Each structure stands twice: as structure tokens, then as C-alpha cells.
Structure 1
Amino acid sequence: MVNINGKFIPDDLGQSLKHEDFYKMIKEGAMPSTTQVNVGTFLEIFKKYVKQGETILYIGLSSALSGTYNSSNTAREMILEEYPDAKIYIIDSLSASVGEGLLVYKANEMLNNNIDIDEVVKFIENTKRHVIHAITVDDLNHLKRGGRISGAVATVGSLLGIKPTLKIDDEGKAIPGDKIKGRKKALKYLVKQLKDKAIKPEEQVIFICNADCKDEAEDIKKMILEEVKVKDIIITSIGSVIGTHGGPGTLGVVFIGTER
């Protein structure tokens, strides 16, 4: 959930609040905050599908970034007390935003090809630390507000035109990457990360996520297609929860690579 202008709104892929409207509100001065999914919500949704005899595979936001994963585990244990035969698989993605989405995409692809659920879970667990997040943000103040950097660093960085990069480490934490001077160089840096680290990019769908800066996402796509042979590229929007912490102008290239 996102709390913005005194209202709690679910981050549901832009259905309750369109992403462009969310970022417009931030640009107009709104200061959103986020809350994790509670146990009760998981119980309600899990129970609905367990009663229908469905198997559940939940791929959660990195446990290093949110307590949501822990809430899902608690709900699973409570469900199993009542329905001991329920099949609920829970995976800590150790990823965020489209990094998590890449794993969902792969799992969905495998299930549609009738691959056994246990094999899917094994693949996701073995792959998740190879999901590379190459990220840059446009405005340091959102990172300062979220406690990622100090006020002094944000002030000096903004004056010097520094565009910080972020990455997700093996523990699923968001950590600082290289400091790039200028937006154009930051975009080139994201493409270079793909060139340097991607495993068999010609067999991969590459994801580009953006926070209200689709034109620049298209620029990155063009650069990738000029420099790297890939299977396909999907451009998508960063949702309101992650967008709260990165702010408008955040861009990421996400792919399966050698190491984080």
C-alpha cells in the first residue's frame, strides 16, 4: 500500500491509481510513504485459492527490503494448520520491481509449458541471485528521504549533477553502485552493465523499467538493440511502492547475468 495525500492506495499495477497520476502527484509536492502487506491479506487470498484446490506459488519482494515475505510465511503456516494438504510455495525473490517480475515471468512461462511446479521452484531459487538490477535515479532527494543517503551527499551530488546508480546484492539489499556524472552517461552505464554481465542475451527477454520517463526507456532500448543481440525487450512502468523510494526519473535494466 502507498499512503499519498492522506489516502492508502494499493499498488496493484496501476489499477487503483495510474502510474502517471502517481508521479504527477509527487512532482506537485506529494510525499508518499509505503506499508507492507499484512498477514491478514495473505490469509484471505491464500485461503480463497486453497479452497478451490489450487496450488499457490508466491514470489515475494526481497526480504531485505520489506517484511512482506515474512508475512506470507506466517500466513502459510496458519493455512497449513487448517488445511494440512494445501500446496503453498513461497520464494524470497531477493529482488525488487521488475527484478521480481522477471522471476514471475519465467515461472509463468515454465508453467505454461507444463513443467512441474517443483522444477519451477528449483529453477527460480537457483536463478534469483543472477537477476541483475542496473538502476539509476534522477533526483537524490528521494533516496535521502528513504534513508539511503545522507542529506549532505544528496546536496553535493545534486549540485555536481551526479546520477547515482544502485544495484541489488546477493542478500537482496539495495546498495550504491557507481556515481555517474550526467544523465546521458548514466543511461549508457545501464547498457554497459547488460553488455558486461548478461548470460546468453540472445536467448533472453530483457526488461527496462521506468518511473514516468518512458522516452528515456525507449532510448535505452534503442541503444541495447544497436549493441547487443537479445531475444526481446519489454518496457514497463515502476509501480508506486518502489517509485516512492526512487522517485520520478528512475530507470532500470533487468536481466539474468553472471553475478550481482
Structure 2
Amino acid sequence: MFAPALTGIKHQSVALSLLGQHATFLDEAGFSQTAFADFIAGQTGPIKTSCPNVDSYLAAMQGADEVYVFTISSALSGSYNAAQTAKQMLLEEEDGGKKIAVFDTKAAGPTERMAAIKASQLIAAGLAFEEVVETVQVYIDRAKIFFGLQSVTNLANNGRINKTVAKLAQVLKINVLGWANEAGEIEQLGKARGAKKARHNLLALLDQHHFDGQHLVIDHADNLEGANAFKDLVLAKYPACQIEIGNCNALCSFYAEKGGLMIGCLVKE
């Protein structure tokens, strides 16, 4: 699940779940787009999502003296609260023998990954636990996620955005553009008819919110062509920007839907 930059630092994914009428799909390492597509096609009713429980986090936190946990926005999922509960339970049991930091990234997907990679770099550099926690929190405060979605039906069906917005977008074939705001809530910032216009408007949104022009991560939901086209747009304006392209895993693929782009970046201090 994580980028190669985390190699050398022990890590694991605590999976969220997609719950269908006939099956459950875990958002874990080794994501297969084909298997995910088969899961979606096999459901005849609504699909819901579920966060990991406390026991899952307890299991993942075992066996290490220092633990760093990066969760999806607490405004969108109970993952952060579950991780915090597991942390408190373990700290009480260990009686001071373990150090655990739980970060609410107030984002998802590429921005979570960016924060985890930043932590791994600091750990590899030999920083003390407290220094890592302080530096990573500052990093998360600057890290943002933007999105350009061709469909927002699944977001609406799961109460993440207004259903009227989703219906209008579907009928008018409009791309919905937005971000996770300071509270970690999904906020629509614009719209565009057509993928090309959406990419240009998405870049304009990054500029408006003070993108630092240094590093960008593009995750796509079965839309490598669109990701590459957006990369070219960014490089035309920010030639020195380091850009990575990745695939959305299960949860992000479900909510971004086919063709969606999720953009992780840092904004200026």
C-alpha cells in the first residue's frame, strides 16, 4: 500500500472495509483493480464503508516500542477515534513502556501516504520520537488533498455530500472539484464540464490555495491518461515540481469513482 520510500521502516495497513450485500472487500495491501471491479459488479444493492475496529488497531500496534498511526480524516471516518482508543488501552497496559502517536491527517489517499513517508524519513534520520511527532504534525497542517471527480454518486449515497449535487452532476455530466477543508470535511470548490476543463480548473484551485510548487502526488481511479495529462499541466507551470503518480486503492477508488483524480500536495506556510 505504501510507496517504496517507506522501505526499511516496518509498516502495515489497517484496512477499512467496503460492505456489499453479497461480499466484503478489504482495503488492504496488494490492491487489485480487477478484483475490485468484480466486487463492485457483483453487488446489486448499495455499498457501505466501515472503519477498522479497536481490536484491529490493537493488533497492529503490538510489537514495537514506537508507533505512528496515520488515519483518514476524523470528519469522514471513525478510524481516528478507534486508533486513539487502542492507543489509550495499550499505554495503560504498558505503563509507559511504549510511545504511540495517532495523527488525524484530515485527508485521505495520497496525503496520508505523504505524511507516512515524511515520518519514515525522519525516523531513518535518527530523530527522537517527540521530534518526529512535532515535525510531522507541522507537515500535516500544510498537507492538503484536492480532487476532480467525474461522478459523486457514491459520496452522496454514503452521506458525504448533498444528493442534489450528485444528481445534477450526473445529469449535466459535470466534473465536481473540491478539497478536504481545514476541518477535514469534503468541500466543493468548483465544477467543470469535460475532463480537460476540469484539469485546468483543478490546477487553478491549487494556485488559489497557495500550492508550494515543490511536490505533488496524483492518485487516479483507473484514469492513468488523465493523471498524466494533469501532470503535464502542472509541469508546464511548475517545471521543478516533483510529481508522483499512483493508483487509488479500494476506498478511494470507491469514492473517487472511475476517472477520479486525487491530488496530494503542500501549501505555503
TM-score, normalised with respect to structure 1: 0.87
Shift of 1:28: 7.2
CA distance in 2, matches of 1:125, 1:149: 28
Residues 45 and 157 of structure 1: is their aligned pair in 2 closer, same or farther, counting only changes over 3 Å? closer
Counterpart of 1:37 in 2: which secondary structure? coil
Q: 2:32 aligns with which of 7, 18, 26?
A: 18
Distance 1:224 1:70, change over 3 A: same
**1:166 aligned onto 2:186:** no
- Tell me the secondary structure at the aligned position of residue 106 of structure 2: coil
Q: Point out where structure 2 has 5 or more consecutive residues left out of the alignment.
A: 1-16
Per the TM alignment, residue 33 of structure 1 is displaced from its structure 2 partner at its CA by 2.2
Structure 1 residues not aligned, in runs of 5+ = none
List per-residue Cα deviations over 1:170-209 (Å, max 9, x = no partner): 11111111122222111112222334445542xx331001
Partner Cα separation in structure 2 for residue 171 and residue 76 of structure 1: 22
Please state whether the residue corresponding to 1:205 is helix, strand or coil.
strand
Residue of structure 2 aligned with 1:253, choices 256, 259, 263: 263
Partner of 2:112: 100
The equivalent of 2:223 in structure 1 is 213
Instruction: Give secondary structure in 2 for the equivalent of 1:56.
Output: strand
Q: Distance in 2 between matches of 1:81 and 1:185?
A: 53
2:61 alignment partner, SS class = helix
Q: Is the 2:48–2:158 contact (alpha carbons within 8 Å) kept by the matching residues of 1?
A: no
2 CA distance for matches of 1:143 and 1:41? 25
* 1:117 aligned residue (106, 129, 145): 129
Q: Determine if contact 1:62/1:92 at 8 Å carries over to the other structure.
A: yes
Pairing partner for 1:137 from 129, 140, 149: 149
1:228, CA displacement in angstroms?
Answer: 0.8
Following superposition, the deviation at residue 116 of structure 1 comes to 2.5
Contact 1:63 1:70 in 2 (8 A): yes
Higher relative contact order (CA 8 A, sep 6+): 1
Which of 146, 150, 154 is the aligned partner of 2:166? 154
For 2:135 and 2:38, the matched residues in 1 are separated by 39
| Structure 1 Cα separation of the partners of residues 34 and 159 of structure 2 | 25
CA contact (8 A) 2:76 2:160 kept: no
Deviation (angstroms), 1:46? 1.3
Instruction: Describe the shift of the 1:234–1:158 C-alpha distance in structure 2 as closer, same or farther (beyond 3 A).
Output: same
Aligned mates of 1:29, 1:216 — CA distance in 2: 27
Please say if residues 107 and 124 of structure 1, whose CA atoms lie closer than 8 Å, have aligned partners that are also in contact: yes
1:62·1:94 contact (CA, 8 Å) conserved in 2?
A: yes
Structure 1: how far apart are the matches of 2:252 and 2:123? 27
- Aligned match of 2:7: none
Equivalent-residue separation in structure 2 for 1:37 and 1:170 (angstroms): 24
SS in 2 for 1:10: strand
Q: What is the root-mean-square deviation of aligned Cα atoms in Å?
A: 2.2
Cα distance, 1:58 vs structure 2: 1.0
Pairwise mapping of residues 1-260 of structure 1 onto structure 2 (< 5 A)? Answer: 1-4=17-20, 6-13=22-29, 15=30, 17-23=31-37, 25-26=39-40, 31-47=46-62, 49-50=63-64, 54-84=65-95, 85-198=97-210, 200-201=212-213, 204-258=214-268
What is the TM-score of this pair, normalised by structure 2? 0.84
Change (3 A) 1:152 1:66: closer
AA partner of residue 32 (structure 1): I
Partner-residue secondary structure (3-state), 1:96: coil
**Code of the aligned partner of 2:32:** K
CA distance, structure 2, for counterparts of residue 89 and residue 4 of structure 1: 33
